[in-house]
Amino acid sequence: MLYREVGQFATSYAADQAIFPIRQDRFGMLVLVLVAYLAVPLVANEYWLSTIFVPFFVFSLAALGLNILTGYAGLLSLGTGGFMAVGAFTAYKLATAFPGINIVLVFVAAGIVTALVGLLFGIPSLRIKGFYLAVATLAAQFFLIWLFVRIAWFQNYSPSGVITAPPRAVFGHFFVTGPEARAAYKYWFTLTFAAVLALAAKNMVRGATGRKWMAIRDMDIAAEIIGIRPLSTKLLAFAVSSFYIGIAGALWAFIYTASVEASAFDIDRSFQILFMIIIGGLGSILGSFLGAAFIVLLPIFLNNLPNQLGLHVGVALVTNLQDMIYGALIVFFLIAEPNGLAALWRAGKEKLRLWPFPH
Amino acid sequence: MLSGDGVLLKVEGVALAFGGVTALSDVSFDIRRGEIRAIIGPNGAGKSSMLNVINGFYRPHSGRITYKGRTVGHMRPHQAAKAGIARTFQNIALFKGMTTLDNIMTGRLLKMRGNFLLDALHVGPAQREEAAHRAVAERIIEFLEIQAVRKVPVGRLPYGLQKRVELGRALAAEPDLLLLDEPMAGMNFEEKEDMSRFILDVNEEFGTTIALIEHDMGVVMDLSSRIVVLDYGRKIADGTPEEVRHDQAVIDAYLGVAHDDERGAWG
Amino acid sequence: MDSGLPRVGSAPEGTRSSGDDTIPKLLLHHARVRPNRPAMREKRLGIWHSWTWREVESEIRRIASALSALGFQRGDRLAVIGDNRPLLYWSMVAAQALGGAPVPLHQDAGADEIADALARADVRFVVAEDQEQVDKLIRVREWYPCLEQILYTDPRGLRTYRQPFLHELAAVVRKAAEGEGRNADFLTAEIARGSGADPAGIYFTSGTNRPPKAVVLSFDNVLATSRAAVAFEELTEREDVLAYLPMACIGDHLISIGQAYCTGFCVNCPESRTTVMADLREIGPTYFLAPPRIWDNMRSTVTLRMEDAGPFKRWLYGLFMRLAERVDRRILDAEHGGAGRRLCCWFGERMVYGPLKNALGMSRVRLAYTWGEAISPGTFDFIRSLGINIKQIYGPTEGALFVTVQSDREASAEAVGRPLPGVALRIGDEGEVLFRGAGAFQEYCKDPTATLAAKTADGWIHSGDAGFVDTHGDLHIVDRVEEAGHLTDGTVFAPMQIENRFRAAGPIREILIFGHGREYVAAFVTIDGLVVGHWAERQGLPYTNYRELAQGPEVRDLVRQTIEAVNREMAQDAMLARVQVRRFLVLEKEFDPDDGELTRSRKLRRQFIAAQYAALVDMLYADEMRGEIDVPVAEKEGGATMRRTKFTVVEAAIFRARQGDAETVSRAVATPG
Amino acid sequence: MHIFYAILIGPFVTMAKEPAFLVEVLIGGLLTGVMYSLVALGFVLIYKASGVFNYAQGTMVLFAALTFVGMLEAGLPAWLSLIAVIVVMIALACAVERMVLRPLVNQSQIILFMSTLGISYFLVGLGQLLWGGDVHPLDIGIPSGPLTVHGILINQLDLYAAVVAGTLVAALALFFQKTAVGRALRAVADDHQAAMSVGIPLKQIWILIWAIAGLVALAAGIMWGASLGVQFSLAEVALKALPVLILGGFTSIPGAIVGGLIVGAAEKLGEVFWGPVIGSGVEDWFAYLLALIFLLFRPQGLFGERIIERV
């Protein structure tokens, strides 16, 4: 209905393979970016920025990472939390050990270290598949968390086992961590990370790298027979995925919750991220964001629901009810749209493009 | 055109078994550069197994394979691919989640030099390389006359077209040896005609050596320069279509084909 | 950009530069005036490649020198055969540049047709697209040895061909470029030597009843009519057209070469025949010519797709289509009429008309023509009500496409408009339309008698069409003169006129009217496989192929209802009341050009069909309404065999003129097959 | 240097020093292992029959135990509450089949897995909503306190638990081998399509299998509850069962049993002999690491059938 594609034709492969080949989409994306960078910080208050948007971006990154591994390369992992922890603690050690380095570099370094760890735990993926692999990744999950809990060195021997992000600024005096950090700065900081890394991910999955991954996912035998090396391809997926997750973990520890302990990255976190990509849509960059938004907003919604309805009920009751509703909703979603929100989005877009013809 | 006679691939005394079941026993034949070589035989004669051995998917229990003059005990499939062996499958093995174009592009992966970092930036070299290989893929798309379904996910294509796309993916690798496992299975008359034309054109245009398995005798006789006949996993005949047509062993094997199907279950 | 030359107003310059009296001269002109504007685009290997006028000029120069290197001289004829490809268009102009005449042939033509055509236009050189065409030509050469050189543009599959008379165009071009080809000045001189009187090309009439005739048109014919039409429609260099009609079709030639070279607009070649619709959407032409068949398809596509749409969409669609009829959108985007009405139109444009045009690739169309045959009023109104400015033009090949044109305001399905400036009309005896003017053709190749018959000494052309001019001065075409027949009771009728009533009427694809020298009108019907198939699925009727579908009694009944509905309308029309269709039978196959039942431009060849199915025609008028009759079935290899087939004649209700209700003259229930 | 000694050699030295203690630890481990097997069994049953990796198995243990305790606390006699719980678990099975499995039939495995995660959340919420989140002590009249055989201490509760578990496992094994229903179940496990084509009603089969898994969970829940007290952490028992699955293979009942024993023993050994060296809490991941290393050599698990890939 909104689309008028007549007269839009590509004269180069670059144009034909652009991320948004349709003019209307390009325009929409531009608007979205402008809104995200300018409008939101102006209108949204502290609460929204720091407790909804920042975690949304952090989760989106983690989901993006897991989606690369599970959605594109078809390798199911339950170790996301563990890898986030690696990112968080690496960043902490680096930031505290070398106060001099720019925080951005610290995060990137944290990502790289996580990538290496991911590489290590990815090795079994050559031999084992499906749920065997999933369970194997649990080994990473438990081992890593145990490591950060037990080995005091990782928390600089803090008695409580809690690590607290030292104050750091970007461009000299815009503090994104520490006491005088401003919500808006945090927002822009995480938004930029999310945006840049999302673009990078999109580029990878629409290029040769992505095709390798998807080939392995769709039919590993055929993939090997056309010359794709299974091991290196899978390991690459693990590394890249872990890089994203690691940075997400670092952002979580430094920007979102200024101080954190290892248990924040337990197996429930892994499942949470997994939910995001399933509900958002496997093998879809957009899906990672949609899923993250859903999982971030749902609890907040459920929390405020009783007050909205003016009910006054015990905390325990509320949490239990939340668990139930949460679980029920998950199941409901899987039944309603197994291919996730991204699929809904795609279908809706197709409807608009074909309007008034049926899809 | 490539020179006619040089032997490209030589199979000597290859044997293969699953559990107790013999799939191939002491099979020997050769494939010459630039020829179209057919492998035929009743169901379960071990034809597919033969191809699987050639491109390294199965490891033969005995026998040797000489490819391009080098004797290779056993190549991993991706090594075979690197060495210039491409193939299609009896029951289509396309990447269902991807479009026709992307499937064919995967055939180019071996030729692509870029790495994930360049891909991530998607500037300069990566973009240029992508475009260059897209151009090659497009030439194949034009060659196979599938422009109309370029951007359609292969899962949605009719069977005949999927077979074509799979051929395209194999061609994209610019192979020296192309293995086709029943390229015309389940096709109607027109589709078979088209596919035969494509196979001939491939052989003629690119000088690609082709080894194919096919049940439609008419097609085999028209296309192939020489034919190997397998039955119960052993070679019972080898020669030009004429010779094979009048070979008694072959005739017997094919008369027996009627009550062959249960035996066809394994093979 | 061109530096030295004075910028003699490039935009207006485009349309009238009377100095340039040949296509090649215009080519040089555009290469000078608008060197960097796109002249041609082609979708190849998945993207659109484009050539500026300057590039096109050098391409054509190269091809020309190659041709002359092969011995192509002034006065020679160059046949081109293949899909719409830039190289073929350029070859035609190259031939013109050398003082020769291009002879575009239909890409589907069989070897025999080609041989006949080449002989008629005594052609020595052919540029063919690919192996398919070359194979035909090699066979042609056995019957027509005068064919000296065959060039091909696409070498695929031709590597092993060793014939000496066979060359790849690119190779010849390269050789010529290496020197032994003539130099640029030679060509410029040759171009200068050309004059408006020279033949611009040779085109074949569709040849409905007798073998096609080779019409010679001069540059003056082509350019004058092109310019007149360009001026009339105010076409500019900014137009985009899609070159999808067969190159043999005069319509394609007049637009893709004639008008393109008058205005300097861009001609776009689709990627392949299977992708035309997609490419149409991508390019989004601003100017579009199509025969009624294509408009009918668009209409039925939309109606079919909408049947599957959800209730809301169907409601919306129905609402705005009705609105479109009420708010007479024929005066496009009614500038008169109240704000409310205009708001409705605006909303409709957003919700229905716009999206539909987008789906059909018609969003940017400023000017659309229907041409070649009479269009069914239903389709015409439908297309217009989408806000597409569709108009009728009339003009046989002998008249270089444009004889009469409708103005934007007075477009209608009935009339075909008024004569183009510079064209004179008159109605001859037995109502034949005669015209005179710039477009009047030169002669029929090697057929002076026919030329004399068709062209009077003072330049009037016998169109062979029967028609009349109404009080507004609009021309109406009734039918071919020779087709006009009369029933035994003396009623005169024009089959085509009746047939138009049925075109694109639901299930009917083609209908062929008989009745000359009989006591009533009867018809052959072929059904539209798509529409009827869709219908059958909804009815839950099983069928495996077209044959079965067409032979089903339910389908016969469906057709009967359609025909009776039209009969009821005809009852109201004084001219047609007495020629309602009383009997019909449904053929079990569609008419097919390869079986000679249609012309290449898909016009019915009634005499051929009547002869082919003589037995069936008799059955239409026999008492025995059912029978088994042998009908020819075309084989793959061309040889036709007979197949015994069951046919059932169906009787349709006939209605009284006055109160056209079911007060019928004769009534019969469809006899179950 | 000495760290390597501590890890690689030290523990074995200690073992060698006091064999009795080693045996004691070993037996303790094996007994716990039987309990793991019990939980793992639940996974295997469901995975075999419906191809679902039922993460909720652990929660079912918790839920069953909670309901049981809840009813006891509500004052019902043990036998009655037992019956009641059984009914509840069967009802649960029906509900799951009707509301989750049926709508999700022939969805990809990961989707089904996700849905069981949903179920798991739901059950945790429901159980704690009904019976409260705090620890419920459960006394089923088994004399706790150690019992000495040849100077080796054995925890009686573990012993009884092991016996119960053992009998249950044996019973299931028989059920599968001997009864018609069991054969039907095996058929389904081998090939859904084929099973349906010979007229085996999938839906009932699924209900049945989930019900059985529920009962297994109940047994496990009571046993664990008796030793640890019924509390949320029971759900975590599932995580202990997962390495068992890798070791034994997702589809092998004997695998589940042997795997359970191995994990139980290994974990105890690791905890007792390595814990002191590399820090406590080793048991969290020790079993996984073991399983992982094991997998590298035998990807399809102990008894999992080898996959022959064809093209």
Query: C547-564: per-residue pLDDT in tens?
Result: 888 888 999 999 999 999
Residue B165 domain flag: yes
Interhelix angle A80-97/A267-280, nearest 10 degrees: 120
Show residues of chain D in contact with A281, CB under 8 Å.
Answer: none
Tell me chain D's radius of gyration from C-alpha atoms: 20
How far apart are the two ends of chain C, measured CA to CA in Å?
72
User: What backbone torsions phi and psi does residue A98 show, to the nearest 5 degrees?
Assistant: -125, 80
Q: How many domains does chain B have?
A: 2
DSSP C430: G
Predicted confidence (pLDDT) per residue in C282-295, tens digit: 999 999 999 998 99
Over range D25-43, report the average pLDDT.
86
A331 to chain D, minimum CA–CA distance in Å? 5
Predicted confidence (pLDDT) per residue in C202-225, tens digit: 999 887 777 889 999 999 999 999
Over range A257-282, report the average pLDDT.
92
Q: How many CB pairs under 8 A join B and D?
A: 7
Give the pLDDT band (50/70/90) at residue C337: low
Three-class SS of residue C652?
A: coil
Over range C642-653, report the average pLDDT.
85
Q: Between B17 and A63, where is the model more confident?
A: A63
The answer to whether the Cβ–Cβ distance between B106 and A215 falls below 8 Å is: yes
A338 touches chain D (CB under 8 A): yes
From the list C542, C553, C586, the residue with the least C-alpha distance to C673 is: C553
Determine the longest span between alpha carbons in chain A, in angstroms.
Answer: 67
Give the pLDDT band (50/70/90) at residue C180: low
From the list A88, A89, A81, the residue with the least C-alpha distance to A137 is: A81
Q: What CA–CA distance (Å, rounded) separates C651 from C559?
A: 11
Q: Specify whether B205 is located in the same domain as B256.
A: yes
The helix (H) or strand (E) run that includes residue C481 is none
Q: Specify whether C610 is located in the same domain as C467.
A: no
Q: Decide which of B106, B141, B173 is a domain's last residue.
A: B173
Residue C363 domain flag: yes
Chains A and D touch (3+ CB pairs under 8 A): yes
Q: Between C671 and C470, where is the model more confident?
A: C470
Over range A68-73, report the average pLDDT.
95
- Residue in the block written with tokens 């209900």: D207
Q: What CA–CA distance (Å, rounded) separates C556 from D311?
A: 51
Highest average pLDDT, of A58-67, D66-75, D271-280, comes from A58-67
Q: Specify whether C496 is located in the same domain as C475.
A: no
Instruction: Provide the 10 A C-beta neighbour count for residue D6.
Output: 14
Residue B90 domain flag: no
Residue D39 domain flag: yes
Over range C13-37, report the average pLDDT.
81
Q: Specify whether C32 is located in the same domain as C121.
A: yes
Give the pLDDT band (50/70/90) at residue C7: very low
Q: Specify whether C62 is located in the same domain as C129.
A: yes
From the list C442, C458, C453, C459, the residue with the least C-alpha distance to C400 is: C442
Instruction: State residue C3's pLDDT score.
Output: 41
Q: What is the mean pLDDT of chain D?
A: 82
B136 to chain A, minimum CA–CA distance in Å? 12
C148 Cβ contact partners less than 8 Å away, ≥ 6 residues apart: C71, C124, C125, C165
Q: Specify whether B152 is located in the same domain as B208.
A: no
Q: Is the pLDDT of residue B257 over 60?
A: no
Predicted confidence (pLDDT) per residue in C583-601, tens digit: 999 998 888 888 888 888 8
- Residue among B51, B87, B95 with most chain A CBs within 10 A, to mutate: B95
User: What backbone torsions phi and psi does residue D201 show, to the nearest 5 degrees?
Assistant: -75, 105
Q: Specify whether C43 is located in the same domain as C73.
A: yes
Q: Specify whether C442 is located in the same domain as C307.
A: yes
Q: Is the pLDDT of residue D237 over 80?
A: no
Residue C489 domain flag: yes
Domain that holds residue C510: 484-651
Predicted confidence (pLDDT) per residue in C354-389, tens digit: 999 999 999 999 999 999 888 888 889 899 889 899
Q: Is the pLDDT of residue C673 over 50?
A: no
Over range C156-164, report the average pLDDT.
88
Instruction: State residue C6's pLDDT score.
Output: 39
Which amino acid is it at C280? L
From the list C341, C398, C66, the residue with the least C-alpha distance to C215 is: C398
Domain that holds residue B126: 97-173
Q: Decide which of B111, B146, B173 is a domain's last residue.
A: B173
Which amino acid is it at B157? L
Highest average pLDDT, of C171-180, D83-92, D99-108, comes from D83-92
Q: Between C410 and B134, where is the model more confident?
A: B134
> Residue C105 pairs with which residues in a beta bridge?
C81
Give the pLDDT band (50/70/90) at residue B8: very high
Domain that holds residue D44: 2-297
Give the pLDDT band (50/70/90) at residue C660: very low
Show residues of chain A in contact with C43, CB under 8 Å.
Answer: 9
The helix (H) or strand (E) run that includes residue C603 is none
> Residue C469 pairs with which residues in a beta bridge?
C475
Instruction: State residue A173's pLDDT score.
Output: 82
Q: Specify whether C339 is located in the same domain as C215.
A: no
- Confidence check on the interface: ipTM exceeds 0.95, yes or no: no
Read out DSSP for A215-252?
Answer: HHHH-HHHHHHTT--HHHHHHHHHHHHHHHHHHHHHHI
Give the pLDDT band (50/70/90) at residue C167: very high
Give the pLDDT band (50/70/90) at residue C667: very low
The answer to whether residues D100 and D119 touch, using CB atoms and an 8 Å cutoff, is yes
Q: Is the pLDDT of residue D280 over 80?
A: no
Chains B and A touch (3+ CB pairs under 8 A): yes
The answer to whether the Cβ–Cβ distance between B116 and A222 falls below 8 Å is: no
Q: Specify whether B72 is located in the same domain as B196.
A: yes
Tokens of B116: 């994930």
Instruction: State residue C661's pLDDT score.
Output: 46
Q: Between C256 and A129, where is the model more confident?
A: C256
A240 touches chain B (CB under 8 A): yes
Instruction: State residue B157's pLDDT score.
Output: 93
Three-class SS of residue A153?
A: helix
Tokens of A355: 């309007």
Q: What CA–CA distance (Å, rounded) separates C670 from C53?
A: 62
User: What backbone torsions phi and psi does residue C217 show, to the nearest 5 degrees?
Assistant: -115, 140
Instruction: State residue C85's pLDDT score.
Output: 96
Tell me chain C's radius of gyration from C-alpha atoms: 26
Q: Is the pLDDT of residue A301 over 90?
A: no
Is the pTM value of this prediction over 0.95?
Answer: no
Burial class (CB in 10 A: 0-12, 13-18, 19+), C50: middle
Q: What is the mean pLDDT of chain C?
A: 87
Predicted confidence (pLDDT) per residue in C461-515, tens digit: 999 899 999 998 999 998 888 888 888 888 888 888 888 888 766 788 889 999 8
Highest average pLDDT, of A188-192, C186-190, C443-447, comes from A188-192
Of chain C residues 257-286, which have a CB less than 8 A from chain B? Answer: 271-272, 274-275, 278
Residue C215 domain flag: yes
Residue C142 domain flag: yes
Q: How many domains does chain D have?
A: 1
Q: Specify whether B2 is located in the same domain as B68.
A: yes
Show residues of chain C in contact with B138, CB under 8 Å.
Answer: 45-46
Q: Specify whether C453 is located in the same domain as C554.
A: no
CB burial readout C387-397, b (16+ within 10 A) else e = bbbbbbbbbbb
D38: CATH: 1.10.3470
Predicted confidence (pLDDT) per residue in A115-136, tens digit: 999 999 998 888 788 888 888 8
C282 to chain B, minimum CA–CA distance in Å? 13
What is the percentage of chain C residues whose pLDDT exceeds 70?
91
Show residues of chain A in contact with C358, CB under 8 Å.
Answer: 3-6
Q: Specify whether B80 is located in the same domain as B180.
A: yes
Q: Specify whether B250 is located in the same domain as B261.
A: yes
Over range C314-340, report the average pLDDT.
72
Q: Specify whether C606 is located in the same domain as C489.
A: yes
A336 touches chain D (CB under 8 A): no
Predicted confidence (pLDDT) per residue in C440-472, tens digit: 999 999 889 999 989 998 999 999 899 999 998
C253 to chain A, minimum CA–CA distance in Å? 23
Instruction: State residue B216's pLDDT score.
Output: 85
Instruction: State residue D63's pLDDT score.
Output: 92
What is the percentage of chain D residues whose pLDDT exceeds 90?
12
The answer to whether the Cβ–Cβ distance between A131 and D279 falls below 8 Å is: no
Predicted confidence (pLDDT) per residue in B147-159, tens digit: 999 999 999 999 9
Read out DSSP for B63-87?
Answer: EEEEETTEEES---HHHHHHTTEEE
Determine the longest span between alpha carbons in chain D, in angstroms.
Answer: 66
Q: Write the Ramachandran bin of C455: left for phi over 0, alpha for psi from -120 to 50, otherwise beta.
A: beta
Q: Specify whether C573 is located in the same domain as C451.
A: no
Q: Specify whether B51 is located in the same domain as B105.
A: no
Where helices occur in chain D by DSSP H, the ranges are 2-4, 10-17, 19-50, 57-73, 78-96, 109-131, 156-178, 180-190, 192-197, 202-228, 237-248, 253-269, 275-278, 283-297
Q: Decide which of B156, B173, B190 is a domain's last residue.
A: B173
Residue D268 domain flag: yes
Instruction: State residue C103's pLDDT score.
Output: 97
Q: Is the pLDDT of residue C245 over 90?
A: yes
Q: Is the pLDDT of residue C16 over 60?
A: no
The answer to whether the Cβ–Cβ distance between A7 and C351 falls below 8 Å is: no
Residue D247 domain flag: yes
Q: Specify whether B193 is located in the same domain as B223.
A: yes
The answer to whether residues B95 and B166 touch, using CB atoms and an 8 Å cutoff, is no
Instruction: State residue C640's pLDDT score.
Output: 60
Q: Between A108 and D207, where is the model more confident?
A: A108
Q: Specify whether B80 is located in the same domain as B101.
A: no
The answer to whether the Cβ–Cβ distance between D246 and A221 falls below 8 Å is: no
Q: Specify whether C605 is located in the same domain as C647.
A: yes
Instruction: State residue D127's pLDDT score.
Output: 87
Instruction: State residue C17's pLDDT score.
Output: 45
Q: Specify whether C514 is located in the same domain as C401.
A: no
Residue B91 domain flag: no
C338: CATH: 3.40.50.12780
Q: What CA–CA distance (Å, rounded) separates D49 from D36?
A: 20
* Cα→Cα distances A88→A154, A262, D129, D305, Å: 10, 9, 35, 41
Show residues of chain D in contact with B170, CB under 8 Å.
Answer: none
Q: What CA–CA distance (Å, rounded) separates A226 from C408?
A: 59
DSSP C519: S
Instruction: State residue C9's pLDDT score.
Output: 35
Instruction: State residue A345's pLDDT score.
Output: 94
Instruction: Provide the 10 A C-beta neighbour count for residue C609.
Output: 22
The answer to whether residues C445 and C214 touch, using CB atoms and an 8 Å cutoff, is yes
Q: Specify whether B105 is located in the same domain as B24.
A: no
Over range C155-159, report the average pLDDT.
87
Give the pLDDT band (50/70/90) at residue D144: low
Give the pLDDT band (50/70/90) at residue A141: very high
Q: Between B250 and C505, where is the model more confident?
A: B250
Q: How many domains does chain C have?
A: 3
Residue D311 domain flag: no
Give the pLDDT band (50/70/90) at residue D44: confident
